[in-house]
Structure 1
Amino acid sequence: MSKIQYQFKKENLAISEPTKHKAEQLRTEEMLINLGPQHPSMHGVLRLEVITDGEIIKEVVPHIGYLHRCFEKHAESMAYNQTIPYVDRMDYVAAMNSEHAYALGIEKMLGITQQIPKRVEYIRVLVAELNRIASHFVALGTYGLDIGAVTPFLWLMRDREHILRLLEWVSGARMLYNYIWIGGLYYDLPVGFEEKCQEFADYLQPKLTEFQQLLVENKIFVERTANIGVLPLAMAINYGVTGPMLRASGLKFDLRKVDAYSVYPELDFEIPVGQGQMGTLGDCWDRTYVRAMECAESLKIVKQCLLRLTTDLKRTREFDPQAAVPKKIRFKEQIDYYARAENPKGELGFFFRTIPNSDIPFRIKARACSFCNLSVLSALSKGVMLADLIAIVGSLDLVMGEVDR
Structure 2
Amino acid sequence: MPGAKTDTIKLNIGPQHPSTHGVLYIKAELDGEIVKNAEPQLGYLHRAIEKLSENRYYHQALPAVDRCDYLCPNLNELVYCMAVEKLAGIKVAERAEYIRVIMAELHRITGHMVWAGSLVNDLGAMFTPLLYSVRDREKLLDLVEKISGSRMFPNYNRFGGVKLDIPEGWLQDVLNYIDIQEKNLVDFRNLVESEIFDVRTKGVAKLTTKQAINFGLTGPLLRATGFDWDLRRDEPYSIYDRFDFNVITEKDGDLRAIYNVRIAEVTESFKIIRQAVKDIPAGPICNKVPSPLRPDKGDCYVRIESSKGELGVYLVSDGSDKPYRLKLRTPSFCNLRAVQELVKDYKLADLIAIVGSIDIVLGDVDR
SS in 2 for 1:28: coil
Residue of 219, 228, 233 corresponding to 1:257:
233
Q: CA deviation at 1:403?
A: 1.0
**What is the alpha-carbon distance in structure 2 between the residues aligned to residue 164 and residue 127 of structure 1?**
11
CA shift, 1:39, in A, is: 3.4
Picking from 278, 289, 311, the partner of 2:260 is 289
Report what 1:174 is aligned to.
Answer: 151
| 2:136 pairs with 1:185 | no
Q: Which whole-Å CA distance do the structure 1 matches of 2:49 and 2:302 have between them?
A: 17
Q: Does 1:327 align with 2:299?
A: no
In the alignment, structure 1 residue 66 sits paired with structure 2 residue 44: yes
Post-superposition shift, 1:371?
0.2
Local SS of the residue matching 1:61: strand
Counterpart pick for 2:299 among 300, 324, 336: 336
**Runs of 4+ with >3 A deviation:** 39-43
Letter aligned with residue 175 of structure 1? M
In structure 1, runs of 5+ residues without a counterpart are 1-20, 276-280
How do 1:233-382 residues align onto structure 2 when only pairs under 5 Å count? 233-275=209-251, 281-309=252-280, 313-314=281-282, 319-333=283-297, 335-356=298-319, 358-382=320-344
1:25-64 alignment to 2 at 5 Å?
A: 28-36=6-14, 37-39=16-18, 45-64=23-42
Secondary structure of 1:206's aligned partner: helix
Q: What is the aligned-residue RMSD (CA, Å)?
A: 1.8
Per-residue CA deviations over 1:206-256 (Å, capped at 9, x if unaligned) read: 2222222222x3222111111111122111101111111111111111111
Contact 2:25–2:40 (Cα < 8 Å) also in 1: yes
Task: Write the letter of the residue equivalent to 1:231.
Answer: L
What is the CA–CA distance in structure 2 between the aligned matches of 1:218 and 1:105, rounded to whole Å? Answer: 44
1:262 Cα deviation after fit: 0.8
Tell me: CA distance 1:369–1:127, structure 2 relative to 1, closer, same or farther (3 Å). Answer: same
Contact 2:246 2:268 survives alignment (8 Å): yes
1:60 aligns to what SS in structure 2? Answer: strand
Aligned partner of 2:203 in structure 1 is 227
Residue 133 of structure 1 deviates from its aligned partner by 0.6
SS in 2 for 1:188: coil
Paired residues of 1:59 and 1:378 also in contact (CA < 8 A): yes
Partners of 2:333 and 2:364 within 8 A in 1: yes
User: Is the Cα–Cα contact under 8 Å of residues 137 and 156 in structure 1 kept in the other structure?
Assistant: yes
Q: Distance in 2 between matches of 1:102 and 1:346?
A: 16
TM-score norm. by structure 2 comes to 0.95
Task: Verify the 8 A CA contact 2:20 2:355 in the aligned structure 1.
Answer: no
Aligned mates of 1:326, 1:146 — CA distance in 2? 49
Q: Which structure has the larger Rg?
A: 1
How far does the alpha carbon of each residue in 1:117-142 deviate from its partner, in whole angstroms, 9 at most, with x for none?
Answer: 22110000001100111111111111
Cα distance, 1:325–1:211 mapped onto 2, change above 3 Å: farther
8 A contact 1:243–1:254 mirrored in 2: yes
Q: Which amino acid aligns with 2:238?
A: S
Report the Cα offset of residue 40 of structure 1.
9.9
How many equivalent residue pairs? 364
* Paired residues of 1:69 and 1:90 also in contact (CA < 8 A): no
In structure 2, how many angstroms separate the alpha carbons of the residues matched to 1:40 and 1:288? Answer: 18
String of CA shifts for 1:176-233, please: whole Å, max 9, x gaps: 1110111111111111101111111222222222222222x32221111111111221
Check 1:201–1:323 CA distance in 2 against 1; reply closer, same or farther (3 A cut): same
Aligned mates of 1:154, 1:261 — CA distance in 2: 34
2:266 maps to a residue whose letter is C
- Give the match for residue 14 of structure 1: none
1:228–1:283 CA contact under 8 A, matched in 2: yes
Q: CA deviation at 1:347?
A: 0.5
Q: Distance in 1 between matches of 2:36 and 2:162?
A: 50
- TM-score normalised to structure 1 length: 0.86
Report if the CA contact (8 A) 1:184-1:325 is conserved: no
The higher-RCO structure (CA 8 Å, 6+ apart) is 2
Give a deviation string over 1:272-328, Cα, whole Å, max 9, x none: 1113xxxxx10011111111111111111111111113xxx14xxxx4323334433
Shift of 1:41: 9.4
**Amino acid of the residue matched to residue 393 of structure 1?**
V
